[in-house]
Amino acid sequence: MDYILLATEGAAAVEAAVANYAPIGQGLVYGLGAIGPGIGIGFLVGKTIEAMARQPEMVGQLQTTMFIGVAFVEALALFGFVLSFIIS
């Protein structure tokens, strides 16, 4: 009978520890999930500005393409944000 009581107390302690570390896990998931899109957007915008400097007459097409690319890359950051809530 004492063994069952000890096992129950151990399980409660594990559940409490998991609840305490959940916000840290959420922060890590979103932080790591935002690194890739951050690098991607920086690379995308930098190359677009470089292309605009080389061919100013193409600014309209380049901006349109850049904004479409930024939307796709930003979707990855939103997936990381949603995933951080799913793991809690």
Under DSSP, is residue 88 helix (H, G, I), strand (E, B) or coil? coil
Which CATH number does the domain housing residue 45 bear? 1.20.20.10
Determine, yes or no, domain membership for 15: no
Determine, yes or no, domain membership for 42: yes
Domain residues for 54? 22-86
Determine, yes or no, domain membership for 13: no
Determine, yes or no, domain membership for 9: no
Determine, yes or no, domain membership for 6: no
For the whole prediction, is pTM greater than 0.85?
no
Domain count, the chain: 1
d(CA 56, CA 47): 14
Q: Both tokens of residue 2?
A: 């004492």
Would you write out the chain's pLDDT as a tens digit for each of its 88 residues?
A: 455 555 566 677 777 777 788 888 888 888 888 898 889 899 999 999 999 999 999 999 999 999 999 999 889 888 888 887 887 6
Under DSSP, is residue 84 helix (H, G, I), strand (E, B) or coil? helix
